[in-house]
């Protein structure tokens, strides 16, 4: 087994309602809400969109914000059926492989193995 899987996906224009996503994904996966602290000196464009979800299948974990999903494994392992289902759902919710409409900054999905 090679490196742990990590892949970033994006949404443009309309962010997700994370409460609705948590309710739907919570039927099948472990879902946890978290907030990233911010302050008056924080100059990030998306500082008001700091809430997020952590969604866990078996070996695959995802951190979701309204516009970005980061799918990753802590240790390299073959994907289980639940991992593949989480990946499929997230690729539907986050259909873009780059953060903007401009043709740069692509995120390329790494190869992964599937459990037999």
Quote the mean pLDDT of the chain.
89
User: Domain for residue 114, yes or no?
Assistant: no
- Give the span between the Cα atoms of 64 and 26, in whole angstroms: 13
Whether 78 is covered by a domain: the verdict is yes
Confidence at residue 116, expressed as pLDDT on a 0 to 100 scale: 85
Average pLDDT of span 98-111: 85
What's the pLDDT tens digit per position in 20-69?
Answer: 999 999 999 999 988 766 666 666 555 555 679 999 999 999 999 999 99
pLDDT surpasses 60 at 73: yes
Q: Is residue 105 part of a domain?
A: no
Name the domain count of the chain: 1
Task: Kindly state the average pLDDT of the residues 76-103.
Answer: 94
**pLDDT given at position 104:** 80
Report the pLDDT averaged over residues 93-105.
87
Q: Cα angle at 58 between 54 and 61, to 5 degrees?
A: 30
In a domain, 113, yes or no: no
Q: Which pairs from 95-99 meet CB under 8 Å and 24+ separation?
A: 95/9, 95/11, 96/9, 96/10, 96/11, 96/12, 97/9, 97/10, 98/10, 99/10, 99/68
Q: How far apart, in whole angstroms, are the C-alpha atoms of residue 46 and residue 84?
A: 30
Domain containing 85 equals 6-39+47-93
Please report the pLDDT score of residue 44 as a whole number.
Answer: 58
- Give residue 46's pLDDT: 56
Q: Write out the two tokens for 77.
A: 């392992």
Per cent of the chain over pLDDT 90 is 67
């Amino acid at each position: 087994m090679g490196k742990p899987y990590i892949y970033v996906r994006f949404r443009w224009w309309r962010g997700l309602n994370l409460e609705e996503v948590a309710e739907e994904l919570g039927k099948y996966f472990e879902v946890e809400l978290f907030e990233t602290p911010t302050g008056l000196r924080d100059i990030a464009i998306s500082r008001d969109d700091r809430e997020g979800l952590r969604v866990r299948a078996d070996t695959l974990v995802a951190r979701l914000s309204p516009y970005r999903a980061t799918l990753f494994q802590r240790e390299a392992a073959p994907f289980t059926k639940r991992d593949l289902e989480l990946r499929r759902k997230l690729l539907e919710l986050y259909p873009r492989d780059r953060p903007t409409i401009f043709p740069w900054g692509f995120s390329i999905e790494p190869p992964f193995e599937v459990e037999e």
